[in-house]
Structure formats: C-alpha cells, structure tokens
Amino acid sequence: MSTVTNVEEHIRQIWSGSAFMQLLKINIDEVHCGGATVSMPIDFDIHTNHWLGVHGGALAALADSVMGITGASVGEVVQTLSFNINFISNLPGTGTAIVISQIKHHGQTTMVITAEMTDEQHNLLATITTTMFIAGHFNEIPKVW
C-alpha cells in the first residue's frame, strides 16, 4: 500500500466505522503527527450516571479512544497496556468533553501518551497517562508528516 497524502482524513476513515465511537458520539476534531483532539458532546440519556453527572466510564472511553488515534498518527496500531486517569472535575450531564493528547515516548514496542480532558470553557476535567503496546503498523501512514 502506498503512503497516504492526507493522514488526518485517512485516520478519520479508519475510525468512521466504529460502532463504539458512534454509540458514544465521539468526534475526531483534529489529528496531527504525534497527537490528536477528540470530543464527546454529552447526551444526558447516554452519558450520565445515577448522580446525573457524566459517568466516569464514558469519560475514560473518550480518553482511551484518543490514545488509539494518537498512535495511528505516527503509523502505529496500539493497544492499551496501562491506563491512568485522574478525575479532577465533572460535567453536569450537558456540554462537551474534549481531550487533547500527545506522544511522550515512542519506543520499539511501547508508546507513552499523555492527555488532558477539559470542558468547552477549558476547565480541567481529567489528566490521563497511558502506556500502549505497539501491536502493528499502518504502513500507509508515515511516522513523520
């Protein structure tokens, strides 16, 4: 397969068929080499818990989703080995959660990615650190672009 010229669009196409991301209404807002921004408009009927705040599992799913996209941004197929999320604040069942990620370490078999989750007013909701296993490669995505 030849190298794609529009990496961001190619990554959007790869993830467009994900029923999981569609169910949670996760959007890929921006992809650049070594990082990404994803968002999740909060749907009260889908994302809230019994306390009427956004369920931590929904926020963790959003955070984990950006990690796979971030790995792909440098041509890697990654799987989560270790995932740490520190919840700082929450949303009241409305608004949008936004996660911005960046690669901190890119080794032969592992990758460390950090991210911050905010709301639309840039209030910090969570900090995230993951160690990802490099399970394969997207040969059509260059490591640097």
Q: How far apart are CA 126 and CA 107, in angstroms?
A: 25
Please write the tens of the pLDDT for every residue from 99-143. Answer: 999 999 999 999 999 999 999 999 999 999 999 999 999 999 999
Split at pLDDT 50, 70, 90, the class of 2 is confident
**Domain architecture of the chain: domains with CATH:** 7-137 (3.10.129.10)
Nearest-Å Rg of the Cα atoms of the chain is 15
Residue 65 pLDDT: 96
Q: What is the pTM of this model?
A: 0.94
Task: For residue 89, give every residue at least 6 positions away whose Cβ sits within 8 Å of its Cβ, in sequence order, or none.
Answer: 119, 123, 124, 125
Q: How far apart are CA 78 and CA 81, in angstroms?
A: 9
Which tokens belong to 55? Answer: 């369920």
- Quickly list H helices, the chain: 7-16, 19-24, 44-47, 56-72
Strand ranges in the chain using DSSP code E only, listed in sequence order = 27-32, 35-41, 76-87, 96-106, 110-118, 124-137
Q: Which residue type does 15 have?
A: W
Task: For residue 136, give every residue at least 6 positions away whose Cβ sits within 8 Å of its Cβ, in sequence order, or none.
Answer: 76, 77
